[in-house]
Amino acid sequence: MITNDGAVGVGLAGFGTVGSGVWNTLARNGGLITERAGSAVKFEIHQIVVRDPDKPRAASVPTELFTTDWQSMVEHPLVEIVVELIGGTEEAFELVAASLGAGKPVVTGNKALLAERGEEVFALARRHQTPVYFEAAVAGGIPIIKAARESFIGNQIDLISGIINGTSNYILMRMTEAGLDYPTALKEAKELGYAEADETLDVNGWDAAHKAMLLGAIVHGFLIDPDEVYVRGIEYVRPLDICFAKDLGYVVKLLCIVRQHEDGSIEIRTQPSFIPKTNILASVNDVFNAVAIRGDGFGDALFYGRGAGQDPTASSVVSDLVDAGRSLREAPKGGNQGFLPYRKKGTLKPIDETETAYYVRFPVTDRPGVVADIASLLAKAGIGISGTHSSIVPDEPDAAFVDMVFLLHTCPFGTLKSALKAIEDLDCVTERPVVFRIETL
Ligand SMILES: NC(=O)c1ccc[n+]([C@@H]2O[C@H](COP(=O)([O-])OP(=O)(O)OC[C@H]3O[C@@H](n4cnc5c(N)ncnc54)[C@H](OP(=O)(O)O)[C@@H]3O)[C@@H](O)[C@H]2O)c1
């Protein structure tokens, strides 16, 4: 299967943002890559799969490389590695399955595919002894998969905390810095090209959750069922809570947490959270990503960089391509075989048992005794109060409604939920309380 000139044959599925970035990176730095990786590792792209072969393309690619027929690309005798960059979970799955079935290693940036259908994909990888590489699927240009899988292999990983969705991070930053409301900040993100036309997965937390699930799988060895993951997005974050956060010394970030508990269970969740202004993650702005990782040997490490975009993501795809190429040429009977889940099943900690401190805002009627009524129900549930705060402003001293904020000591989320149920029944509470976790990390 080796091509005439000894290059590793590649089939590229997808020539959009990332696919064309891969082409450009190989065109720009192919010589350098071969110098570094060894003469056996140079690449030749034999076919490129797209939806519309007639679409004008920015990169100058021989038109005969384009095809709409992914099956023929996978079966092409000169294609040894398949790069999947079409996205989605249906056709991409068929393509990946066919590649693995043909014994052709796969490089992908498709976090949705791996998070939603990882069980099937990795079963095929195992059955056909053919690796799947996916550095680009988590945090774009940041080499966190390789670090977690290889560099930190000698550590128990206690905690991963990450800001891994650039779109949400940009929107929350603009709400914080410019006081924009959510729809205005989203509109701005779209105009700047930071949010997709369909922003759903970015803002509802699932894009970040998919990445957190992959990180969890890498460091804890088992695939995580999406149905068991607690996910909340940023769509309901209100400027009022961002203002309160500021006043109280916090910033609101869409935060992913993957934490190992002493009983061996894994806590995994994604939600907008308060983090102290002094925490290093609080200064991650714009569309940047950051992943903080804590291990029993190395302590704390922080990875910061561009979590998306053409060149950063292509950088990760090309890194995987080099690993796959090296493995094919230099270590065909071993070497770097990508990731396979190494435990059958782990236990996720039920969300109601996870513990943090909380910020809770109660919209209430402004009458004497409100604070005492709420405080007594919190006390009855055994929840301590570390502070209170209210939205009464000097020029509106006679407002009929106010927002009362309670900062609560650490307790299980389930305990808080039960207490809030009782508090919601008080006649002074006019709307559902708004809850944010306070993360000390
Ligand atoms: N963009 C990023 O910054 C980024 C970062 C990390 C990971 N990723 C992941 O990388 C993957 C690709 O993202 P992208 O932003 O490059 O997407 P994109 O710009 O929308 O490009 C998708 C490409 O795939 C082709 N395509 C889509 N469906 C196809 C089908 N059914 N058959 C054949 N070709 C098909 C399209 O063809 P046409 O060109 O003809 O339309 C296009 O070339 C996704 O899984 C994404 O989650 C992206």
| The pLDDT value given to residue 74 | 98
Half-sphere exposure of residue 10, counting CA atoms within 13 Å on the CB side? 28
Per the DSSP assignment, residues forming a β-bridge with 157 are: 295
- 335 assigned to some structural domain: no
Examine the domain organization and report whether 252 and 398 are in the same domain.
no
Examine the domain organization and report whether 12 and 77 are in the same domain.
yes
**Nearest atom, ligand 1, residue 68 CA:** 33
Q: How far is CA 358 from CA 399, 426, 433, in A?
A: 26, 20, 12
pLDDT band at 364 (very low <50, low <70, confident <90, very high): very high
Examine the domain organization and report whether 417 and 370 are in the same domain.
yes
For 30-39, write each residue's pLDDT tens digit.
Answer: 999 999 998 8
For 67-126, write each residue's pLDDT tens digit.
Answer: 999 999 999 999 999 999 999 999 999 999 999 999 999 999 999 999 999 999 999 999
Lowest mean pLDDT among 99-103, 156-160, 365-369: 365-369
* Residue type at 407 in one-letter notation: L
Q: Of the residues 12, 15, 17, 207, which should be mutated to test ligand 1's pocket, given the most ligand atoms within 8 Å of the CB?
A: 17
**Does pLDDT of 18 surpass 80?**
yes
**Does pLDDT of 338 surpass 50?**
yes
Residue having the nearest C-alpha atom to atom 26 of ligand 1: 86
The whole-chain average pLDDT of the chain stands at 94
- Percentage of the chain lying above the pLDDT 90 cut: 88
Strand, helix or coil at 392?
Answer: coil
205, 244 Cβ separation under 8 angstroms: no
Residue 432 CB coordination number (10 Å): 10
pLDDT band at 337 (very low <50, low <70, confident <90, very high): low
Q: Which two tokens stand for residue 305?
A: 């960089």
Whole-number Å distance between alpha carbons of 22 and 2: 21
Question: 110 Cβ partners below 8 Å, 6+ apart?
Answer: 84, 85, 86, 87, 88, 89, 92, 134, 137
CATH of the domain at 136: 3.40.50.720
For tokens 């702005």, name the residue.
285
Examine the domain organization and report whether 149 and 293 are in the same domain.
yes
pLDDT band at 6 (very low <50, low <70, confident <90, very high): confident
| The pLDDT value given to residue 4 | 44
**Does pLDDT of 308 surpass 50?**
yes
- Based on the residue annotation, tell me whether 277 is a catalytic residue of this protein: no
| The pLDDT value given to residue 1 | 45
Q: List, in sequence order, every beta strand (DSSP E) within 219-263.
A: 230-231, 250-260
| The pLDDT value given to residue 347 | 95
Half-sphere exposure of residue 104, counting CA atoms within 13 Å on the CB side? 28
Examine the domain organization and report whether 19 and 149 are in the same domain.
no
284, 290 Cβ separation under 8 angstroms: yes
pLDDT band at 317 (very low <50, low <70, confident <90, very high): very high
Q: Following DSSP, what letter does each residue of 355-391 receive, concatenated? A: EEEEEEEEEEE--TTHHHHHHHHHHHTT--EEEEEE-
Whole-number Å distance between alpha carbons of 226 and 97: 21
Strands 132-133 and 266-276: unpaired
Examine the domain organization and report whether 256 and 400 are in the same domain.
no
Examine the domain organization and report whether 46 and 152 are in the same domain.
no
Residue 168 CB coordination number (10 Å): 30
Whole-number Å distance between alpha carbons of 438 and 195: 27
Q: Residue range 251-280: average pLDDT?
A: 97
| The pLDDT value given to residue 228 | 94
Q: Of the residues 69, 86, 134, 138, which should be mutated to test ligand 1's pocket, given the most ligand atoms within 8 Å of the CB?
A: 86
- Catalytic option among 211, 246, 345, 417: 211
For 370-401, write each residue's pLDDT tens digit.
Answer: 999 999 999 999 999 999 998 755 556 567 88
Backbone torsions φ then ψ of 16, nearest 5 degrees = -95, -135
* Gap from CA of 161 to ligand 1 centroid (Å): 27
Confirm whether pTM is higher than 0.75. Answer: yes
| The pLDDT value given to residue 58 | 84
CATH of the domain at 286: 3.30.360.10
Residue having the nearest C-alpha atom to atom 19 of ligand 1: 16
Residue having the nearest C-alpha atom to atom 6 of ligand 1: 140
Whole-number Å distance between alpha carbons of 242 and 165: 18
247, 393 Cβ separation under 8 angstroms: no
Q: Which residues form ligand 1's pocket by a CB distance below 6 Å?
A: 14-19, 49-52, 55, 85-87, 91, 109-111, 136, 140, 308-309, 313
Examine the domain organization and report whether 225 and 326 are in the same domain.
no
* Residue type at 3 in one-letter notation: T
Task: Give me the domain span that covers residue 114.
Answer: 8-140+310-330
Examine the domain organization and report whether 134 and 270 are in the same domain.
no
- Residue 150 is classified by DSSP as I
CATH of the domain at 397: 3.30.70.260
Q: How far is CA 203 from CA 150, 168, 251, 253, 304, in A?
A: 31, 6, 17, 12, 21
* Gap from CA of 113 to ligand 1 centroid (Å): 13
**Nearest atom, ligand 1, residue 316 CA:** 6
Examine the domain organization and report whether 175 and 296 are in the same domain.
yes
**Does pLDDT of 224 surpass 60?**
yes
Q: Of the residues 15, 23, 50, 90, which should be mutated to test ligand 1's pocket, given the most ligand atoms within 8 Å of the CB?
A: 50
